[in-house]
Structure 1
Amino acid sequence: MQKTFQNARSALPYILPALLLILSFVFLPMILNVYYSLFRWNAFSVERDFVGWEYYVRLFRDPVFYTAVKNNSLYAVISIVVQVGGGLVIAAILEDRLIRRWQSLFRTIFFIPSVISIAVVGLLWQLLYNPDIGLVNGALQMLGQNEWVHAWLGDSKTAIFAVIAVSQWQFTGYMVMLFLIAMHKIPEDLYESSMIDGANRIQTFFKITIPQIKEMILVGTMITVIGAFKVFDEVYVMTFGGPGRSTEVLGTMLYRAAFRNDEMGYASTIATVIFAITFALSLLQMKWSRSGQEG
């Protein structure tokens, strides 16, 4: 016990700088954000009026808040299906012996969108969705599907799906890379044994590949879900919550309150709720990861 204490004391000077940085730039701002959410204040005033839980009551009575939560949840569900599910299938295809020789080329093709600036991607797809000169409607017209020609970002029924589709195009390749890294660690003997036993590719995918990389699948799922509740850039660039706030998400709602309406207390409340959601999801990730190791 004494030796352990001495080791901890000797290590303290090395971890103290990092600990101070984490306390100063992570934990202190989180505590202050919760504190500021209890006051009415703006960016140009030194005075703060204590309002208690007023902003929280206002937030949970605001119908736009539930629209934002619904859009973030829709974002998460579609991202799990496309990014995690689709990325897993693509990675498995690239790991096939017939395609493996071309894997480096396909990895580059799939991964390039994820390193492009989100603002650039948003502007690019804004042009692609343009109802008059956009490539999406142009392609539909060339294929003779004129009934599908649409103002994708101008219709409240399709705008959120159009924005979500952009994120799937951009980040599915990132999931593919994560799954490929995990698949490379699977012993080749397992696949050879399954082939000797007469298993086909689909059977080996469900019986060998998925069980062997289940931890990476869990991590990828949680990264995707947490990212879906923190999404901001693509919505801000493409629609800024419109039309009619139909594409509003928690991030744009926070930005609107803070920098458009100058309601910093209300913005702090929204930020606190976003933190609570992402923190709860992080706890779930740690719990599931631990249970997977125990199993």
Structure 2
Amino acid sequence: MKREKKRNLQALAFAIPAILILGIFVYFPLIKNFIYSFQSFTLSSTTKEWVGFDNYRHLFSDKIILVSLKNNILYAVISIVIQVGFGLVLAAVLEDIAFHKFAPTLRSIYFIPTVISMTVVCLLFDFVYNPQMGLLNSFLELVGLDGLTRVWLGSKKTAMYAVIAVSQWQSTGYVAMLFIVAIQKIPRDLYEAAEVDGAGKLKRFFYITVPQVRQMFFVTMILTVVGAFTVFNEPYILTGGGPGTATMVLSLHMYQTGFVKNNMGYASTIAMLIFVITAILSSVQFASFGTEKEDR
């Protein structure tokens, strides 16, 4: 009993620093933000006015919230298809024996955008999208597709897709690396047995690779969806939410409400909305993963 008690105390001693860090930097700010969402105040306010559910009522009547939600959902859907879907395919291709000699070099090339600062990436793509001397329009003109040239970041039809493309370029390599790690852990015997049975590369991919990387699939799904609903840098740097509100997302709307319009109470309410959405989506995915794990 004494030995077991000593072990429990030792375990608690190791856990206390982590609990303190989480409490100070995660849970305490979350609780404070929840309280702030029921108040009205500015950055320079010495007192805060309690307004009850007024901020939440305003949330449901705020037209920009609906636009932002649509953009975030679009961001999430495209990110899942490209980052997770294409990332898995890319990882499978790089781990194929046919690319064995070139795989290390290609992995480095695809991973390089991940280590570049998002600010630098956005400034780079701002030049790429430039309507007069940008690389994209210049390339389209070079290959005779002048009719496809656009003011990519200045048009409501293309601005959001142009912003989303920046994230895909930077993050797909990172997701592919995660899948590569998962694929490398799959026993080679499974592939050899399937090959002996006459299974082609496509069948081996769908019947061996995909089921075996299911755990990593859900991890990348959670990272991608949460990232899509908390995205800020790309729309802020590239368009500032414009033209109009075409590229407005929840986090950018929260920032502008708090630090531009100086309405910190309502900004806290938008922050709570972001938290609730990401928490629900993460919980659903965790629950789905748990069910899948039990079924195996």
TM range (shorter): over 0.9
1:149 to 2:149 alignment: yes
- Counterpart for residue 290 of structure 1: 290
- Counterpart for residue 87 of structure 1: 87
Secondary structure of the residue aligned to 2:98 is coil
Secondary structure of the residue aligned to 2:92 is helix
* 8 A Cα contact 1:215 1:292, kept in partner: no
Between the aligned partners of 1:272 and 1:3, the Cα distance in structure 2 is: 45
Distance 1:10 1:82, change over 3 A: closer
Distance 1:6 1:141, change over 3 A: same
- Counterpart for residue 24 of structure 1: 24
Between the aligned partners of 1:92 and 1:101, the Cα distance in structure 2 is: 15
- Counterpart for residue 59 of structure 1: 59
Question: Matches of residues 149-188 of structure 1 in structure 2 within 5 Å?
Answer: 149-188=149-188
- Counterpart for residue 236 of structure 1: 236
1:202 to 2:202 alignment: yes
Between the aligned partners of 1:166 and 1:119, the Cα distance in structure 2 is: 11
Between the aligned partners of 1:2 and 1:118, the Cα distance in structure 2 is: 53
- CA offset at residue 133 of structure 1? 0.6
- Counterpart for residue 127 of structure 1: 127
Q: Between Structure 1 and Structure 2, how many residues are aligned?
A: 295
- Counterpart for residue 193 of structure 2: 193
Between the aligned partners of 1:64 and 1:189, the Cα distance in structure 2 is: 54
Give me the CA root mean square deviation. Answer: 1.3
- CA offset at residue 285 of structure 1? 2.6
Between the aligned partners of 1:261 and 1:137, the Cα distance in structure 2 is: 36
Write the letter of the residue equivalent to 1:64.
I
Between the aligned partners of 1:118 and 1:183, the Cα distance in structure 2 is: 28
> Could you state the TM-score of these two structures normalised by the residue count of structure 2?
0.97
| Structure 1: gaps of 5 or more residues | none
1:249 to 2:249 alignment: yes
- Counterpart for residue 112 of structure 1: 112
Between the aligned partners of 1:69 and 1:175, the Cα distance in structure 2 is: 24
Between the aligned partners of 2:291 and 2:242, the Cα distance in structure 1 is: 42
CA distances 1:35-62 after superposition (whole Å, capped 9, x unpaired): 0010100111111111111111111111
Secondary structure of the residue aligned to 2:101 is helix
Secondary structure of the residue aligned to 1:157 is coil
| Structure 2: gaps of 5 or more residues | none
Secondary structure of the residue aligned to 1:101 is coil
- Counterpart for residue 276 of structure 1: 276
Between the aligned partners of 1:3 and 1:35, the Cα distance in structure 2 is: 44
Distance 1:2 1:55, change over 3 A: farther
> Could you state the TM-score of these two structures normalised by the residue count of structure 1?
0.97
- Counterpart for residue 69 of structure 2: 69
CA distances 1:213-261 after superposition (whole Å, capped 9, x unpaired): 1111111111101100000001100001000011000010011011101
CA distances 1:81-123 after superposition (whole Å, capped 9, x unpaired): 1111111111111111110121110000000011110111111
Between the aligned partners of 2:105 and 2:13, the Cα distance in structure 1 is: 47
- CA offset at residue 9 of structure 1? 3.3
CA distances 1:269-294 after superposition (whole Å, capped 9, x unpaired): 01011011111122123212221221
Between the aligned partners of 1:146 and 1:176, the Cα distance in structure 2 is: 34
Between the aligned partners of 2:14 and 2:182, the Cα distance in structure 1 is: 33
Question: Matches of residues 5-16 of structure 1 in structure 2 within 5 Å?
Answer: 7-16=7-16
Secondary structure of the residue aligned to 2:131 is coil
1:260 to 2:252 alignment: no
Between the aligned partners of 1:15 and 1:258, the Cα distance in structure 2 is: 35
* 8 A Cα contact 1:179 1:216, kept in partner: yes
Moved over 3 A (4+): 1-7
Write the letter of the residue equivalent to 2:131.
P
Between the aligned partners of 2:13 and 2:85, the Cα distance in structure 1 is: 45
Write the letter of the residue equivalent to 1:223.
L
